[in-house]
Amino acid sequence: MADDRPNILLLLTDQQRFDTIRALGNPVIRTPVLDDLVARGTAFTRAYTPSPVCVSARGAMLTGLEPQTTGCTDNAPMDFSRQSLMQRLGAAGYQCHGAGKMHFVPKPRELWGFESRDFCEEGGGRDDFREYLDRHGYSHVLDPHGVRSEYYYLPQPSQLPARHHPTAWVVDRSIDWLQARDHDRPFFLFTSIIKPHPPFESPTTWNKLYRPPDMPLPKRPAASQELLTYWNRYQNRYKWRDRGWDEQLVRTIKAAYYACISFIDYQLGRLLEHLDATGDLDNTVILFSSDHGELLGDYGSWGKRCMLDSAARIPLIAIWPDGYGAGQRCDEPASLIDIVPTALAAADLPRDGLPGVDLRRLAAGALPRDAVYGRFQSGPQAVYMRATREHKYIWSAPDQREWLLDLTADPEETRDVAGDPDQAARLVVERTATLQHFASEDNVVDGRWQRHPLRTLPSDPDAGLLFQDAPGSAAVPDPRYRD
Going by pLDDT thresholds of 50, 70 and 90, the confidence category of residue 284 is very high
Cβ 452 vs Cβ 261: under 8 Å: no
At 169 the three-state DSSP class reads helix
Q: What is the pLDDT of residues 77-89, one digit of tens each?
A: 999 999 999 999 9
Q: What is the pLDDT of residues 292-347, one digit of tens each?
A: 999 999 999 999 999 999 999 999 999 999 999 999 999 999 999 999 999 999 99
User: Do strands 116-119 and 95-100 pair parallel, antiparallel, or not at all (unpaired)?
Assistant: parallel
CA distance 328 to 37: 11
CA distance 78 to 59: 6
CA distance 390 to 434: 15
Whether 467 maps to a domain, the answer reads no
pLDDT of residue 56: 98
Cβ 118 vs Cβ 164: under 8 Å: no
CA distance 464 to 240: 9
pLDDT of residue 153: 96
Whether 98 maps to a domain, the answer reads yes
**Looking at the 3D structure of the chain, how many domains does it have?**
1
At 113 the three-state DSSP class reads coil
Whether 451 maps to a domain, the answer reads no
Going by pLDDT thresholds of 50, 70 and 90, the confidence category of residue 391 is very high
Cβ 15 vs Cβ 31: under 8 Å: no
Mean pLDDT, rounded, for 238-258: 95
The secondary structure of residue 29, as a DSSP letter, is: -
pLDDT at 348 over 70: yes
Whether 471 maps to a domain, the answer reads no
Mean pLDDT, rounded, for 175-187: 97
Burial state string for 233-243 with b = 16 or more CB within 10 A and e = fewer than 16: bbbbbbbbbbe
Q: What is the pLDDT of residues 217-234, one digit of tens each?
A: 999 999 999 999 999 999
How large a percentage of the chain has pLDDT more than 90? 92
pLDDT of residue 1: 52
Going by pLDDT thresholds of 50, 70 and 90, the confidence category of residue 472 is confident
Tell me which residue range forms the domain holding 55: 7-367
Whether 160 maps to a domain, the answer reads yes
pLDDT of residue 471: 84
Q: What is the pLDDT of residues 15-32, one digit of tens each?
A: 999 999 999 999 999 999
Going by pLDDT thresholds of 50, 70 and 90, the confidence category of residue 408 is very high
Q: Over the chain, what is the mean pLDDT? A: 96
The secondary structure of residue 398, as a DSSP letter, is: T
Q: What is the pLDDT of residues 420-454, one digit of tens each?
A: 999 999 999 999 999 999 999 999 999 999 999 99
**What CATH number is associated with residue 69?**
3.40.720.10
Whether 283 maps to a domain, the answer reads yes
Whether 447 maps to a domain, the answer reads no
Whether 398 maps to a domain, the answer reads no
CA distance 105 to 96: 20
Q: How far is CA 454 from CA 50, 159, 200, 299, in A?
A: 25, 43, 34, 21
Mean pLDDT, rounded, for 11-16: 98
CA distance 405 to 472: 46
CA distance 295 to 308: 8
- Paired residues of 372 in beta bridges: 387
pLDDT of residue 203: 98
Q: What is the pLDDT of residues 194-204, one digit of tens each?
A: 999 999 999 99
